[in-house]
Chains A and B, each alone.
Chain A
Amino acid sequence: MVEVYTTYKKQLTGEYLRAFQSIELYAEMEGIDFDYSNEAFVDLIDMLLSAQQDGQRVEKIVGSNIDRFCEAYFENYTWKLRVLSWVERVRDLCIVILSFTLFETYLAHPSSIEAFFHLETDISAFLVGFFGGALISMAVSFLFKKAMIRKKRFSLRAYHTVRYVSFFLMLIVILIFFQFEINLPVWMVLLFCLVYLLGFRLLVKRRRKKSKDGEESIWQQIKTQVKSELPESVAMEMAKEYERRNQRLVKKGKTPLSQEDYLRKVEQQYKRSAREEKLGWAIFVGIPLLFILVAAPHMSLEDTLIYAASMAISFFVVSFALRAAFKWIRNARQMRMQIVMEHREGKCNIFSLVENQGESNS
Chain B
Amino acid sequence: MDDTQLLKGILDGCILSIISEGETYGYEILSRLEQEGFDNLLEGTLYPVLTRLHTKGYLACRKAKSPLGPVRKYFSITAEGEHWLLEFKESFRKVFGNADKILFGNEEEEL
Give A residues with C-beta under 8 Å from B.
1, 3, 5, 7-8, 11, 40, 42-47, 49-51, 53, 59-65, 68-76, 211-213, 215
- A47 and B48 in contact (CB under 8 A), knowing A3-B70, A68-B43, A72-B43? no
Cα separation A215 to B72 with both chains bound (whole Å):
13
- Across the interface, B71 reaches (CB within 8 A) one of A1, A40, A50, namely A1
Residues of A within 8 A of B39 (CB): 60
- Across the interface, A213 reaches (CB within 8 A) one of B25, B26, B61, B68, namely B61
State the main secondary structure of chain B at its contact with A. Answer: mixed
Cα separation A49 to B25 with both chains bound (whole Å):
13
Contact B43 A65 (CB under 8 A): yes
Most buried by B among A11, A43, A61, A215: A43
Q: Determine if B104 is an interface residue (Cβ-Cβ < 8 Å).
A: no
**Min C-beta distance of B44 to chain A, whole Å:** 3
What class of interface size applies to chain B in its complex with A? Answer: 20 to 34
Residues of A within 8 A of B47 (CB): 40, 43-44, 73
- A68 and B44 in contact (CB under 8 A), knowing A46-B27, A60-B34, A213-B60? yes
Cα separation A130 to B101 with both chains bound (whole Å):
66
Contact B71 A3 (CB under 8 A): yes
Contact B73 A49 (CB under 8 A): no
How many Cβ-Cβ contacts under 8 Å join chain A to chain B?
A: 81
- Across the interface, A73 reaches (CB within 8 A) one of B25, B44, B68, B69, namely B44
**Min C-beta distance of A89 to chain B, whole Å:** 24
Residues of B within 8 A of A45 (CB): 70
Using an 8 Å CB-CB cutoff, how does the interface string of B42-70 with A read, 1 for contact, 0 for none?
A: 11110110011011010011110010111
- Across the interface, A72 reaches (CB within 8 A) one of B27, B48, B63, namely B48
Contact A49 B44 (CB under 8 A): no
Residues of B within 8 A of A69 (CB): 43-44
Contact A76 B45 (CB under 8 A): no
Residues of B within 8 A of A43 (CB): 26, 47, 70, 73
**Min C-beta distance of A241 to chain B, whole Å:** 34
Residues of A within 8 A of B40 (CB): 59, 63-64
Residue on B with the closest CB to A61? B30
Most buried by B among A8, A47, A75: A47
**Min C-beta distance of A326 to chain B, whole Å:** 34
Residues of A within 8 A of B61 (CB): 213, 215
Residues of A within 8 A of B44 (CB): 62-63, 68-73
